[in-house]
Amino acid sequence: MKSRDVMHALTADTMDAPDAGAKPRHRAWPVTVARTLAPALGGFTLLNLAAARGEPAFHANLWWVDLRFVPRFMEEGLLAVFGLAAMGYAVRPVMGRRRRRITLMLFWLLGLAAISNATVFFTLLGWGRIDSGCPLPLSLAVVGLLGWIGWMARRPMAAPPRLHRGLAMICLMFSGLVFPVAQMVAFGMTDYRRPADAAVVFGCLAYPDGRCSAPLSERVRTACGLYHEGAVKQLIFSGGPTRGEINETDAMLNLARQLDVPESAIVCDPVGLNTASTVTNTVTLFERYQYNRVLAVSHFYHLPRIKLAYLRAGVQVYTVPAQRVWRRSRWLPYAMAREIAAWWWYYKQALVG
């Protein structure tokens, strides 16, 4: 089927006439959930495609499905038509037979791609190429989401059931909270370490006496472990001023010396005041020292935002979660809640360029 036929089927009023055997109504609440999640996913997809027009390196649809096994133009075309179909289902759920078949076909294709992504994850996990604190990839949740919406859209209906606006708002807000958390748990807890030129360590609180806080110590110790196992030859410590006159990088450097990492193997960025400035400063260092492959070390909840910032800068990094010593940390819920807002803020900045 040609692309213009697909677009016509998705938009033409003649395709919205219900089938002769259409059911009178569906239950209202399942259709409300499906009609809320469909445009959330479809809108997210279309926004990412629009942002990629201005910044080609911003390949943000990788957050939910990886279609890099097909040419880029095919990937963008499929995602664009899928996004329109998802939005169309939300706006006009009563579909003719042809439009419904095309919509279901698109959901099934993306579902198969997500299954393929999950298969790759389990294969790499089995080969020991990656390690993960989360046994299930986010791709399986994507399969479930696409399957749910497709299941609700598969049956013809004569008239759309009443849309529960309150439930729709709850679903939309819930998805906005769950998506970054799912990234933290599924992506953030996965260790993608491999041989690289350098590892960037993101700063955190340091005490006035020059000691690293527990989170900062965990990050530095993880990076020093990468150095000692031969995964990297250089460490980049990035941080900013902290309490007193001490800089976070000073505390990181002191701990690295205690862990037998020579100072000649360390580069410090003392003006990494936040994640964005660290990314900007280190990209300059990558170019100066000609680092082609780089690891990024931080805690699991921070890594999705780091990945997003480097993607926007056009740099591919491989993330390594810091090994947590204190599993039950009182600051962890606060840190994760803060990262939800911070992730969406960085995403918004990427969209507006």
pLDDT in tens, 264-276: 999 999 999 999 9
Average pLDDT, the chain: 88
Torsion angle in degrees (nearest 10) through CA of 113, 316, 72, 305: 60
pTM for the predicted model, two decimal places = 0.86
Place of tokens 């213009």: 4
Residues 24-48 have a mean pLDDT of 84
Q: Where residue 24 falls among pLDDT bands split at 50, 70, 90?
A: very low
What angle in degrees, to the nearest 10, is found between the helix axes of 138-153 and 97-127? 160
Three-state DSSP at 325 gives coil
- The backbone torsions φ and ψ at residue 32, rounded to the nearest 5 degrees and listed phi first, read -60, -45
Residues 101-115 have a mean pLDDT of 95
Per-residue pLDDT reduced to its tens digit, 73-95:
999 999 999 999 999 998 888 88
Partners of 81 in beta bridges: none
Q: Where residue 135 falls among pLDDT bands split at 50, 70, 90?
A: confident
What are the structural domains of the chain? 3-187 (no CATH), 192-352 (3.40.50.620)
pLDDT at 353: 67
Partners of 268 in beta bridges: 237
| CA gap 211, 224 in Å, rounded | 16
Q: Is pLDDT of 174 > 60?
A: yes
Cβ contacts of 53-56, under 8 Å, gap ≥ 24? 54/353, 55/312, 55/314, 55/350, 55/353
Please say whether the beta carbons of 323 and 219 come within 8 A: no
Q: How far is residue 304 CA from its own chain's centroid?
A: 6
- The backbone torsions φ and ψ at residue 191, rounded to the nearest 5 degrees and listed phi first, read -95, 115
Range list of H helices, the chain: 3-11, 28-54, 72-91, 97-127, 138-153, 165-182, 214-228, 248-258, 275-289, 303-312, 332-352
| CA gap 68, 72 in Å, rounded | 7
Q: Is pLDDT of 9 > 50?
A: no
Residues 268-295 have a mean pLDDT of 95
Can you read off the two tokens belonging to residue 109?
A: 């294709």
Q: What separation in angstroms does the CA of 301 have from each of 184, 203, 315, 334, 348?
A: 5, 14, 20, 11, 19
| CA gap 306, 22 in Å, rounded | 48
Partners of 132 in beta bridges: 190
pLDDT at 326: 58
pLDDT at 163: 72
| CA gap 345, 351 in Å, rounded | 10
